[in-house]
Amino acid sequence: MLIFIIKFYMNNLPKKIPVFPLSNFIIFPKTSVPLNIFEPRYIEMINDSIKSDKFIGMIQPKPPKKVSGEPPQLHNIGCLGKIISFKETDDGKYLIDLQGLIRFKIIKEINSDRKYRQCEISYDDFLHDLSEKKEDLKFTDLELIFKNLKSLFEKRGFIINWKALEKQSLDETINALAMASPFSLEEKQVLLEAKNLDTRKTKIAEILNTYTYDQYENTTVQ
């Protein structure tokens, strides 16, 4: 049955997608995020997506090595999202909710006459993202991570509803913490590329262990 479901999804997922490069932002499968779309090229992208399959790819751009007029290079791994709600504001902006479905790997970027970027992608390395099977993790596995993240969030001035997080499933909690964490672009990319939830949990702990806190400046020193 599981194989049938995965094949069904795979047959209905696009192999060519518009991509939305957004720094220091990641989305995971089985999570949803609100987005405020205001740049003309991405308004065009949302318009095109709404008229077709409602899919867009979220991906992080790589930090530019030097100032140039070229678009930034993209990381190889991103996450396919589907627009599940859509609202146009009075000033022409779009407010959307995006549901993460499955991670993807970029095969190549496609030349296009559209203002936004498009890529040919593969899902082959991430088929397990489509599985509904829960991974064997316990809440006690997260206690130390919770403690360290609370300290980091407080010193950075982040407000998190911890009680609400504790009511979620462990996979939702781990992914929500990875998405909301005040980590660097590259650190968030590591979390996105982690093979499974257990590996992602371990990576969060490893990243936290590299941080020391300046209690006066609320900055992070590595």
- Residues 25, 110 share a domain: yes
In this predicted model, what pLDDT tens digit does every residue of 14-59 receive, in sequence order? 999 999 999 889 999 988 999 999 999 999 999 999 999 999 999 9
Maximal C-alpha separation, the chain:
56
pLDDT of residue 136: 61
Q: What CATH number is attached to the domain comprising 83?
A: 2.30.130.40
- Residues 181, 76 share a domain: no
The number of beta carbons lying within 10 Å of the beta carbon of residue 30 is: 15
pLDDT of residue 159: 72
Final residue belonging to a domain, choices 108, 130, 152? 130
Residue by residue, what is the 3-state secondary structure of 137-171? CCHHHHHHHHHHHHHHHHHHCCCCCHHHHHCCCHH
Averaged pLDDT for residues 3-21? 73
CA distance 85 to 99: 9
Final residue belonging to a domain, choices 72, 101, 130? 130
The answer to whether the CB of 171 falls within 8 A of the CB of 155 is no
Domain count, the chain: 2
pLDDT of residue 207: 87
Q: Report whether pLDDT(8) > 90.
A: no
In this predicted model, what pLDDT tens digit does every residue of 65-98 receive, in sequence order? 776 678 889 999 999 999 999 999 999 899 999 9
Please give the residue range of the domain that contains residue 95.
Answer: 2-130
What string of DSSP letters covers 83-104? EEEEEE-TTS-EEEEEEEEEEE
In this predicted model, what pLDDT tens digit does every residue of 142-175 receive, in sequence order? 777 778 887 887 777 777 777 776 677 777 778 8
Q: What CATH number is attached to the domain comprising 195?
A: 1.20.58
Assigned token pair, 134 = 């829960």
pLDDT of residue 212: 52
In this predicted model, what pLDDT tens digit does every residue of 106-152 receive, in sequence order? 999 999 899 999 999 999 999 988 887 666 666 666 777 778 887 88
In terms of pTM, does the model score above 0.85? Answer: no
CA distance 39 to 78: 21
More confident residue, 74 or 221: 74
pLDDT of residue 152: 80
- Residues 125, 78 share a domain: yes
pLDDT confidence band for 10 (50 / 70 / 90): low
**Backbone angles phi and psi of 207, in degrees to 5:** -65, -45
Final residue belonging to a domain, choices 109, 130, 151? 130
- Whole-angstrom CA distances from 30 to 54, 79, 107, 108, 222 are 16, 11, 24, 26, 32
pLDDT of residue 214: 43
In this predicted model, what pLDDT tens digit does every residue of 182-215 receive, in sequence order? 888 899 999 999 988 888 888 988 888 887 544 4
pLDDT of residue 9: 56
- Residues 209, 144 share a domain: yes
- Residues 94, 22 share a domain: yes
